[in-house]
Amino acid sequence: MAKDWWKAVVFYEIYVPSFKDSDGDGVGDLKGISQKLDYLVDLGVEGLWLTPFYLSPKVDNGYDIADYFTIDPVYGTMEDFESLIEQAHKRGIKVIADLVVNHTSTEHAWFQEARKSKVNAKRDWYIWRKKPNNWTSFFGGSAWEWEEATKEFYYHSFAKEQADLNWQNPEVEQAIFEVIDYWLEKGLDGFRLDVINNLTVAHEFQDNPFDQQGSQVHLHDVNQKGIYAVLEKIVARIKAKNPAAFTVGEISSDKLARIHSYAKENLFDVTFNFNLGSIKTWEAKAVFTQLEAMENQFSEGNYPTLFFGSHDMARLYTRLAENDLAMAKMIALLMLSARGIPFIYFGEEIGMQNFVPQNIQEMKDVQSIQEYDRLRRAGLDSKEALRQANQVNRDQSRNPMNWSKESFTEGVPWLGAGAEQPQPIAELYEWYQQIITFRKKGAVAQYPYKKLSYTKDVIWFQRGSYLLVFNFSKQAFELNEKVIAVVMASSLRVSNTLVPAKTAIIYKVEE
């Protein structure tokens, strides 16, 4: 297998509980994914990223792992997993999965041991302190939780049910190496490494400073000394097992140079850049600025990632396209033709929209539930607390896939029961198919940008012998370039170099 197979692949993120339910319990599962592989082939994706399917109490929906070697029964069995890998490989689809090693569930046997006594052999696998410092959890509130039994606090950078592993302890490293080996032997083609620059923290435990808006600056709990050395060892272990394994690191940072610093030889193949992916509304100028910055930062053969959706942010169709098909088509083409490795979030291709819980019972995301409770304690009424909590609610994009005709499940779906989803948009699906095919033919993927440009809500660039123009504005745009022909357009009203409002066009040009 070529070592750099991933350079030509369009990835597709599957949020496992929400993709396809095969047994009517209302929760998506591994068998369900197998049943839909032909759909994915038809769409044209060749790489899947599966969110956690390991045994978990699911406080954070699987990002709280209780046993790294067991499939959670709600998602199926080990046979289902092996069969999924086999069926995917048969169809030329590679599969990567989440590796969540910053923390475990507090239900993990390691933590259960660790919490027993201060002298327990596993005590030092986690991070304990007599006194907390001011570090806050990424879900809000203190990152320290008191344990009455041993009279110390343990550190959790996410929910209190997700205890951070102590990566200064070499035994932790060895234990995780076994996890890596195990899943690669099962046939996984790589990993998406969860919050991976959080792995080490400063063991002087200095308080973090605050910025001018009063938010905590995570100075001492992310990107700490020794992080690169630890990650190099993890990557070396992965590549030793499977030199062609692909690694994508989730880096929590808004500094592109930092994000890039983790994507190089001996580190990850690519890293997620949330500066592009999680913008709140569509602004062509801001998107262009990111594309340009990525171009300056990443050299030839070194790729940024491209995505506008995930299980941690509101859906592209609602948030960025504002329910406008023309916009959704343009954004999709930009994502699939810019320089980088694209990740489609499931449902994007049929125009799935946000799910917004109407009461607290419908809310499942630990982050927004915590926020709701905090707001209630601060005295807000339930309606206002719900409204504000919904703004950080990740349930918005986790609603079950809206398969055409057949529903998600015969049972009651685990999230969004009864909520209406508009019909899947066939025109959008076909557009995704066409542009993925265009990309896969190598039409653009392997070429550097020529004249990456911007003016008044219009972005354009040439790659190889194709010029791609995205007119996000409300006016037609006269393109001042010599073109040979129109290859494809996102709307029908195209007459050569006059690009109608809200239209993207691919032109054939002289190389």
Identity of the residue, 308 or 414, whose beta carbon is nearer to Mg ion in the bound complex: 414
Identity of the residue, 176 or 195, whose beta carbon is nearer to ligand NOJ in the bound complex: 195
Question: Shortest distance, CB of residue 367 to ligand NOJ, whole angstroms?
Answer: 7
User: Are 164 and 201 a contacting pair, CB within 8 Å?
Assistant: yes
Q: In this structure, what are the phi and psi dihedrals at residue 467, rounded to the nearest 5 degrees?
A: -115, 125
Measured between alpha carbons, how far is 311 from 319 in angstroms, rounded to an integer? 13
Residue 369 interacting with ligand NOJ (CB under 6 A) = no
Question: Looking at 60, 250, 348, 457, which residue is catalytic?
Answer: 250
Give the nearest residue (CB) to ligand NOJ.
63
Residues 309-368 interacting with ligand NOJ (rule: CB under 6 A): 311-312
Residues 195-214 interacting with ligand NOJ (rule: CB under 6 A): 195
Question: Shortest distance, CB of residue 245 to ligand NOJ, whole angstroms?
Answer: 20
Q: Report the candidate in 497, 499, 472, 488 with the shortest Cα–Cα distance to residue 438.
A: 488
Matching residue, tokens 């969004």: 416
Identity of the residue, 23 or 107, whose beta carbon is nearer to Mg ion in the bound complex: 23
Measured between alpha carbons, how far is 507 from 176 in angstroms, rounded to an integer? 49
Residues 55-94 interacting with ligand NOJ (rule: CB under 6 A): 60, 63
Residue 25 interacting with ligand NOJ (CB under 6 A) = no
Q: Give me the residues that bind Mg ion (CB under 5 A), please.
A: 21, 23, 25, 27, 29
Measured between alpha carbons, how far is 165 from 371 in angstroms, rounded to an integer? 25
User: Are 262 and 249 a contacting pair, CB within 8 Å?
Assistant: yes
Q: Report the candidate in 269, 275, 386, 317 with the shortest Cα–Cα distance to residue 6.
A: 269
349 binds, options ligand NOJ, Mg ion, none, Cβ within 5 to 8 A by partner type: none
Identity of the residue, 25 or 292, whose beta carbon is nearer to Mg ion in the bound complex: 25
27 binds, options ligand NOJ, Mg ion, none, Cβ within 5 to 8 A by partner type: Mg ion
Identity of the residue, 83 or 136, whose beta carbon is nearer to ligand NOJ in the bound complex: 136
Identity of the residue, 23 or 312, whose beta carbon is nearer to ligand NOJ in the bound complex: 312
User: Are 348 and 316 a contacting pair, CB within 8 Å?
Assistant: yes
Q: For the purposes of burial, counting CB atoms within 10 Å of the CB of 387, is it exposed (0-12), middle (13-18) or buried (19 or more)?
A: middle
Residue 260 tokens, joined? 């890039």
Residue 194 interacting with ligand NOJ (CB under 6 A) = yes
Q: For the purposes of burial, counting CB atoms within 10 Å of the CB of 172, is it exposed (0-12), middle (13-18) or buried (19 or more)?
A: buried
Matching residue, tokens 């507090």: 106
Measured between alpha carbons, how far is 135 from 109 in angstroms, rounded to an integer? 26
395 binds, options ligand NOJ, Mg ion, none, Cβ within 5 to 8 A by partner type: none
Residue 362 tokens, joined? 């419908």
Catalytic site includes residue 250? yes
Question: Shortest distance, CB of residue 280 to ligand NOJ, whole angstroms?
Answer: 18
Give the nearest residue (CB) to Mg ion.
29
Catalytic site includes residue 113? no
Question: Looking at 145, 161, 194, 349, which residue is catalytic?
Answer: 194
Residues recognised as catalytic: 194, 250
Which residues here bind ligand NOJ, judged by CB under 6 A?
60, 63, 100, 158, 194-195, 250, 311-312
